Chains A and B, each alone.
Chain A
Amino acid sequence: MNANPSLRKSPNLDDWIALEADGRIRVLSGKVDIGQRISTAVALIAAEELEVDPARIAMQPPDTDTAPDEGMTTGSNSIQQSGDAIRRAAATARRHLLGLAAARFGTDARTLEIVDGLVRDPATNRSATYVELTGGAPFAIPVDANATVKAPGDCRLIGGPAQPRGIADMVSGHAKYVQDLVLPGMRHARVVRPPHHLARLGGLDSETVARLEAAAIRIVRDGSFIAVAGDDEYAVVRAADRLARSATWKTGIEFEERDVFDQLVDNPRISLPVVDGMPLEAPVSRPPAPAEGAALSRRARYERPYQMHASIGPSAAMARDDDGHLMVWSHSQGIFPLRDSIAESLDLDPSRITVIHHPGPGCYGHNGADDAAYEAALVARALPGRPVLLKWTRDDEHAWEPYASAMAVDVAADLDASGRVIRWTAESHSDTHRGRPRPDAGGAGPARLLANRFRADAIPPLTPTPNMNHHGGLHRNLDPYYDFPAPHLVKHLVRGLPLRTSAMRCLGAVANIFALECFMDELAEAADIDRLEFRFNHLKDDRARAVLRAAADAIGWRRAGRPDDLGQGLAFARYKNDMTFAAVAVELRVDDQARVRLDRAAIAADSGQVIDRDGLRAQLEGGFLQAASWALYEQVRYDRDGVTSRDWETYPILGFDNVPEIDVIILDRPAAESLGAGEAAGGPTVAAIGNAIADATGLRLRRMPFDPDAIMAAARR
């Protein structure tokens, strides 16, 4: 059995690699590029193993008809899944091609050389290109999962400089996103939304409808799902506006106004013990009594509000109904599960739907992309024959994307007289982080597509079940990586929370690491031990120690005393306890208006063997800046009339005015397995900022965001 799920599903070499007549090599990956440069990394891997110039590698945009089904592009798994699969496929191909050349030249494969895809016999000077060797025929062999891949020392490309694919088109404005697609005869479409998800349509004003229809605007209505479509985009924008103003809504029950942080700990919930990162189907035992010999005990609650992906470009999708075959162009992170969920919703055979991945603006998890795709499909089905480009508005994206769940994490610990942790408990409370449309029991796919809540044949939202995976959802990084005596860990999947939630970059790890790593500082302080030293005292793993040391050195860690108003903080985590090791150190000040100004940051990471070095740095920097934004600015606000965070003024994010100098230190481990890194910096960044604020001001902030209101409120306490 192959350990790589991607190879299990797509075992044939032809699933992954095709030789083109013009000398290019087409590589098919089921993982999608969402700005994380997976296509750059995968192309490097293929070029390395096939011994060709990376320019020869053509990365095929995945679609559900031809790409290997690699499920979702999530969880920082792409290098370990797609990268590994393509590496083994390319190595299999090289060995196979050398075999063909040896037979043709009547020599031993080991004597042959390869230069940029040309196989040469040095003895006779005979040569043949790859495609000459196969004659353009398919490989028709399986990928050998044990094919010998290049030893780290032999790599010429991996780990070296690589220009990100597509960047020249990005800076020149020629890169085409789903939002920019044009198809012949295309209509534009917009959705008319209810005030919130509990509201249902009362009615549309018939005069407005008649006037719009007279102006060639098509109105698609299915229950409370309403869309407008037409030839001219701006006319559609205005029509949607007019229709929205004329619509009446039955708002039914008002939105829950109770403080979500009270709800998180008071509402009904499913509680499960977590051991070694795995939830158990078992009753939760009582938290252990304070340890004997405890010199001091501490407890604290850390909280994260609802936060959003907040893509810079609102979601969009193109769809066309060709005589009952549905074509959908989407920036979804999971084109196969999306296809199957749309098929199930529309009662179509999946073979009658093709979903083509097309790049979109950065999404950072499950944002509006899938919902927009389904909505475009609904409009295309209602108006068959012509393509429909449906775009969400800024208001749609802010108010209707599935958010990162609010969370509350209770931590408690006892220290002995020497300052060692002798008891650790952590309980995490959250809604689900798993809301992606994906077929599963109980019609989970359709139930997770937004428009299905509003169609005449409405499907209510799914009641989530606990994620039982290793470091899945809300218990991601709940288990400390430190050498503590067996910690008491509990995950609480909370019911009845007001907003729709799903996967956002780092999932539960943000709140869990925020709690764990800030609480480590609280304990160190209580025990009067340097915060870095305190971590070292509980950390034997050399790779973990090395990243902490590197980040601390880069920031110029001060053991004691604060000569000025600069606060320093650091934090560490190993993502999912088995991926990238990351330590973040920051230096900041709090200005006289209680605003946090980030001065410097150091991120040290160990991701095993580095593939695309600059891409890795970019992911770490980007992860840092996004998490700094969560830490300092972000909170989804709502009242009984619905979500009130509907644009960039009501939901501000980090801007160019607060970007620190960032030093990224990569600890190279060429002989170690490559580890996913896209989410490694998030949790440690939030905690390091919290710790630095405490260092600068003496104020311990336990609820994100650390904005001026929070800092002033803490100062008053």
Chain B
Amino acid sequence: MEEIVLHVNGGEHRIDADPSTPLLFVLRNHLGLTGAKLGCGLEQCGACAVLVDGRSTLTCSAPVGDFAGREIVTAEGLAVDAVGAAVQNAFIDAGAAQCGYCTPGLVIAATALLTRNASPSAADVRDALSPHLCRCGSHARVLAAVAGLSTGAAE
């Protein structure tokens, strides 16, 4: 056990954890932030993505010790971010979720993309979402929701 200081959703948290514990378990079980999901634990599905210093990052394997002092934002913390809130609203308007299990990860990936590049092409959107799996088939709506936010989008 070690005390680790995490910056999550704008707050500072001191956590007693084995530093080898994957960040995902700490977010979910120590901080009660269950938006990031355990989908595979193998860095294959994207369900566990959060923003770390603005980049979409998988958390199911990487040890919490690596994240000390870095800026972490989970799906629960996106609403105060202009881009994050816009992404969430676009998903709602497009009905871009069925069971919703993959959705927080996709919202994170889309926010990271649009923060980095306000006018991504359709190919950029596909690339950014490609690490993510969805089994319900919400893909087409997700792509449309994100593409619609690109300042390069026709409309």
Contacts and interface: CB of A to CB of B under 8 A. Distances in A.
Contacts of B104: 170-171, 173
Contacts of A394: 39-42, 44
Given A173-B76, A234-B22, A313-B39, A624 B91 contact: no
Given A391-B38, A648-B44, A659-B143, A172 B76 contact: yes
A624 B137 contact: yes
A203 interface: no
Given A35-B99, A166-B100, A170-B100, A310 B74 contact: no
Given A172-B88, A657-B130, A647 B44 contact: yes
Contacts of A232: 29
A659 B133 CA distance: 12
Interface string B44-76: 110100000000000000000000000000111
Interface stretch (A73-81, A267-275, A614-622): A614-622
Interface in B1-53: 18, 21-22, 25, 28-29, 32-42, 44-45, 47
Interface stretch (A18-26, A176-184, A242-250, A438-446): A176-184
Interface string B75-113: 110110000000110011001011111111001000000
Interface string B111-147: 0000000000000001001101111111111110000
Contacts of B78: 172-173
A309 B99 CA distance: 14
Given A164-B95, A312-B101, A394-B39, A176 B34 contact: yes
A213 to B, nearest CB: 19
B101 A171 contact: no
Contacts of A622: 98, 136-138
Choose among A169, A622, A653, A656 the residue with the greatest number of B CB atoms under 10 Å from its CB: A656
A312 B139 contact: no
Contacts of B47: 312-313
A655 B98 CA distance: 16
A647 B39 CA distance: 11
Contacts of A669: none
A385 to B, nearest CB: 21
B34 to A, nearest CB: 4
Interface of A is mostly: loop
A170 B95 CA distance: 11
B97 A310 contact: no
A167 interface: yes
A128 B22 CA distance: 57
A8 interface: no
Given A394-B39, A621-B140, A648-B42, A362 B133 contact: no
A175 B137 contact: no
A361 interface: yes
Interface residues of A, number: 60
B42 A657 contact: no
Contacts of A654: 139
Interface of B is mostly: loop
A310 B75 CA distance: 24
A380 B116 CA distance: 48
Contacts of B141: 618, 621
A362 B44 CA distance: 18
Interface in A629-654: 647-649, 653-654
Contacts of B45: 312, 648
A113 to B, nearest CB: 33
B36 A393 contact: no
A226 interface: no
Nearest to B128: A656
B107 A171 contact: yes
Contacts of B137: 621-626
Given A313-B37, A393-B41, A618-B95, A233 B25 contact: yes
A656 B37 CA distance: 19
B40 A362 contact: no
B135 A311 contact: yes
Contact of A171 (B21, B29, B38, B103): B103
B35 A364 contact: no
Contacts of B135: 309-312, 361-362, 364, 626, 653
A614 B92 CA distance: 12
Given A622-B138, A625-B140, A167 B126 contact: no
A278 interface: no
A568 interface: no
B95 A614 contact: yes
Given A171-B91, A172-B76, A653-B133, A648 B40 contact: yes
Interface in A499-529: none
A101 interface: no
Interface in A240-261: none
Contacts of A37: 98
A394 B42 CA distance: 9
A36 interface: yes
A312 B133 contact: yes
Choose among A180, A232, A312, A394 the residue with the greatest number of B CB atoms under 10 Å from its CB: A312
Nearest to B46: A312
B101 A362 contact: yes
Contact of B74 (A166, A173, A362): A173
Given A312-B135, A313-B38, A649-B44, 5 more contacts: A312-B39, A624-B137, A625-B137, A648-B133, A655-B133
13 contacts: A177-B37, A237-B41, A312-B37, A313-B47, A362-B98, A394-B41, A625-B140, A648-B40, A648-B42, A654-B139, A656-B142, A657-B126, A659-B126
**Shortest 10 CB-CB contacts between residues of A and residues of B:** A173-B35, A173-B75, A170-B100, A35-B99, A622-B137, A625-B137, A362-B99, A361-B101, A180-B34, A35-B98
